[in-house]
Structure formats: structure tokens, C-alpha cells
Amino acid sequence: MGKYFGTDGFRGEANKDLTFDHAIKIGRFLGWYYGANQGKKAKVVIGKDTRRSSYMFEYALCTGLMASGADAYIMHVTTTPSVAYIARVDDFDCGIMISASHNPFYDNGIKLLNGNGEKMDEETILKVEDYIDGRIDIPIATREEIGRTVDYVEGRNRYIGHLISMSKYSFKGVKVGLDCANGAAWQIAKGIFDALGAKTYVMNAEPDGLNINTNCGSTHIEHLQKFVVDNKLDVGFAYDGDADRCLGVDEKGNVITGDHTLYIYGLYMKERGKLLNNKVVTTVMSNFGLYKALDKVGIEYEKTAVGDKYVYENMVQTGNRLGGEQSGHTIFLKYETTGDGILTSLKLMEVMLAKKKPMSELAAPVVFYPQVLKNVRVNSKPDAQNDPDVQHAVKLVADTLGDTGRILVRESGTEPVIRVMVEAESDDICEKYVDEVIDVIKEKGHLSK
């Protein structure tokens, strides 16, 4: 991770951590780097979510791009995966998504994608940061070299057509609830489900610039749970602010997490001979119950660090075709390069219709283990993590749990915090073993004062 950009872009409170000036400079550098620097005029596609500041950052990025001689193609309010898709299929030099995902409205972010629709490589990100900090000088475009903006709503429409075309079944007669989080999915998701024949019930699709993710969407799934039960729906899907993740709700009101999705669709692929390598890719935060369920049906798995970036990297390196996070980022590598909440919901619908089973039955084999996670503020994350006595305490817990649970101790990527997590057969067991490890961290003097 760089000075400004983390694993999912440059993110922070709008005009405090991430400012209008930052956006202009990012546009300036990308417009030059992919354009005049290579002796051509750059083409960059831009999308945004519904938060108030997204419009400001859109104009700032366009200003920077045009000042460096690039043409900025504006998709307006759209999803992160749509920008990734269009960057790839319409031959753009790069893509930019303005969103802070599931964060509150006053935060925002700038996500950079390469021409293949993948997250931008670290080397280019570091060059962007060097320009922001004044360590690189680049020329400004003049006369006919100045860039222009192009209204590119057709790109969003092409993405919608892409998703509709992937459905193998009519949704006619299926009652579906959608929670659009007052975010990027609000103009897209309902139209897709309607086009496929579903009886679509929508909530939180009235964005006002300030209500994105507010008590709605995948981070507040309880509202969709009630909505599905109250309206006697067959299934429900909740997206986050930029719609790159999806959580579901079955007809009984139970939550369908990203782990459930990996099991449901992984088994469906295996049964049709489509699960290459017989593996799904998870992160270390997937629930132990997922692994037990996968073991029972003979599906293998890999574990990566937390972050869909690492899931995608593993999939590219190994050829695995399905991966994701418990939080709802699911990557279907055959179709897209990033998590796509709407695609995920369509794929879950496909399994329901193909197997003629309710979502509750499809998800039933994944029985989540109780989990306790505690954060410990420490003076030095590496010192605490690598302390022999702490490692010994962790090993004792792991050996004691055996195949009835697991322990995970990891460093926070953004705070001076060690996270201690235990999954086991009861909350009491989880609590006991988490506290045992934390007591050793405390006894060895690692706690910050």
C-alpha cells in the first residue's frame, strides 16, 4: 500500500482526507501517463456512485484529464463492476470509479482500474502518488491537444445488456426483493430483474446524495430480512454503495453471506463439471462452517489475505474460477475481473431456478460456527504477533480445537491493532480462547498505553 492509496483506492472523508485538488492531480497524471507520455491521446472512462461529493470529484478528475490532453468518457452514476467491464471491452486506457463503497456519504474514494478492468498495479499507483507530492513534473496540453468530455451513458447500457444476456432462465413468477442502498445500483438492478421477468420489489432506491448506505444495503441487512418476510418474497438481495458486493436473504429471512454464495455456486459448478481445479478461493476470514460444508461435498479451497484484490490475484495465478469474501465480494472469473453484486444475485437466481429449490435449502449445508473477534491495541504489531509466547498460546488453542474450530491472529492493515478471532462450537469456547491469547499479549507488555 502507498501513502494515499490502499488496497481499494484512495479513500477518506471528502475534502479533508481526499480533496478536490487530489482528484485534479490524479486526472492530470493519468491523462499524461496514458496519453502524451506514450505519444497518443488517452481515453479514460469514469463512473461514480450517488454521494454528494462524487459529482465534485467527477468534474475535478475530468478537469485534470482534459488539461493533460485526455478524453474523459463519463458513465455518470453506475457501479464499480460496470466501469471495470467497460474499460476492458471498449478498449479504454484505464478506468476510474468514484466511490467509498459501503462507507457513509461524507467519505469518498477514487479507485483506479487498468485497461483490462483490473485494479491498477502498484508501480503505477506509486507514480500517481509521486505526482501528487510534487516529485514529477508533467506538461500541460494546449490548443487542439486539450481533451474533451464525452457523455458515455451507452457504456452503462451495454453493461446492463451484458448482465441480462448471461441469464439462462426466465425469472417469471419469482418475487424478488432488492435493497439498492440508495447507491449505484438504484438505476440498474430493478431494470435487469424486470427485463428477466421477475416481480421486483425495491427498497432504498431514492438517493439524495446524503443517504447512501444509511441504515440500508448489505451493511444493514436486517431491513431486507424484514422486507422479504413481510412481503412473502422468494428471495432478496442487498448491495453496497457501489454494488460490487451482494448479500442475500432467503424466503425465511435468513442471511445468505458471501460464504454461502461460494458454497451454493461452487457446488453447482462442480455438479456440471465447470469447477476448474475443483477449488474455490476464500479469504482467511471465511467461516469455519464453509470449510466443513465444502469438505463434505469434496470441494477444495484456497485461503488468501483479506481483500478481493488478493482473491483475484490468486484466481489469475491458479486458474481457479470462483472466489470471494464473506462480506459479499464474489468474483466469477469467466465473466468479470472484480466483485459484482448484481451478477452475484443473478447467479444465485440461476441456481435456484436450475435446481428448483428455495434458497434456504440451497444454503442449509453451510452451518456457521459461532465466532468471537476482539481487537487489541498494541505498541508494535510485529512484536506482538511474533512474540514466541504469543505464538505458543495460539498454537495451544489451535491444537486444542483440532477440527472443531480454528483461531486466527492477524494484524490490522490500518490501525495499531492485533485482531484475535476464534471460531468454535459455542460462544463460551470462543470467548475463553480469545481471552487466553489476549492475556498473554497483555502479560508480555505489548498493550499500548
Residue 1 pLDDT: 59
Active site members: 101
Please indicate, yes or no, whether the overall pTM of this predicted structure exceeds 0.85.
Answer: yes
C-alpha torsion angle, residues 42, 309, 82, 27 (rounded to 10): -30
Reference 346, options 354, 273, 293; nearest CA is 354
Residues of the chain with pLDDT under 50: none
**Inter-CA distances, 111 with 114, 125, 297, Å:** 10, 10, 37
Distance CA 124, CA 130 (A): 10
Q: Could you tell me the three cell numbers for 447?
A: 498493550
Proportion of the chain in helix, strand, coil states, percent, rounded to 5: 45, 20, 35
Distance CA 82, CA 245 (A): 13
C-alpha torsion angle, residues 416, 8, 59, 337 (rounded to 10): 180
Q: Amino acid identity of 410?
A: R
Residue 306 pLDDT: 86
C-alpha torsion angle, residues 363, 366, 371, 376 (rounded to 10): -80
Residue 413 pLDDT: 67
